[in-house]
Amino acid sequence: MDFRLDDGWQIRPIGGNTGMAYVGTKEQEKLFIKRNTSPFLAALSLEEITPRLVWTRHISTGDTLTAQEWLNGRSLTRGEMKDGRVAALLTKVHGSNVLKKMLRQVGGCYVFPEDLLASYFRGLSSSLRQHPLLKNVANELRSYQPKFDHRDYSVCHGDLNHKNWLLSDSNRLYLVDWESATLADPAMDLSMLMCQYVPRKDWKAWLTTNFEQSLKDTFQQRIAWYCRLSLLLSIKHHCERGHFIEMNQDILKLADISKKQDFI
């Protein structure tokens, strides 16, 4: 798509991408444009979780364009993902009643433990289904599912890849790409981040440093459950895409977690 709005904005795909992200230019101005993004973006902008929302417009094709300020910056490195500012921004997201109210208003879905388990088993290959370790872990997770009142669920990002964190040149940190946002147990988000980016030996220190509730047994039990499930889902993902080195690395992580009685 390459089009011009009536007021002179020229919109082109970013990096030749024909998907949903564009750069908008008008004389010396520059904006980040997305097509048909969720109205939830307005609340994220208000809470300063994402770059500032400049305008939203409906165009003749029936699409909706949203424009955000263009910020020069970079994605976080894998090593930076365990920094305190990442944990602080996640705490802000999980604790925001504004975000929770807005996501419910725009039709955000609740995701429960049984939903995540069902997504793991859905279309699971026979080789993974019969793998002794994966089979045992999946059965354990099915037998014990964390109890956490859905009224205490928070907005969860759902895809905390380091590429979805933007550090601006002015040293402001933002979390972007909210297409996977749900209402869920915040332990789900934290477990994904821990499994991908925090060394196993540092889990206890990282949690106790950044999250007050980490001392509660029930919180640790929920983290333990979601960490195992996060690894199962990652193993399935890598297997489906033929990324067998990454798949085996996650299997080794899961084996290490499963043999330790003191999870945290």
Contact between 113 and 225 (Cβ < 8 Å): yes
Q: What is the set of active-site residues?
A: 159
Contact between 93 and 41 (Cβ < 8 Å): no
The candidate with the shortest Cα–Cα distance to 164, out of 64, 55, 49, is 49
Residues in the chain: 264
- The gap between the terminal CA atoms of the chain, to the nearest Å, is 49
Q: What is the 3-state secondary structure (H, E, C) of 146-173?
A: CCCCHHHCEEECCCCCHHHEEEECCCCE
Residue 74 three-state SS: strand
> Taking CA 131 as the corner, what is the angle to CA 130 and CA 134, rounded to the nearest 5 degrees?
110
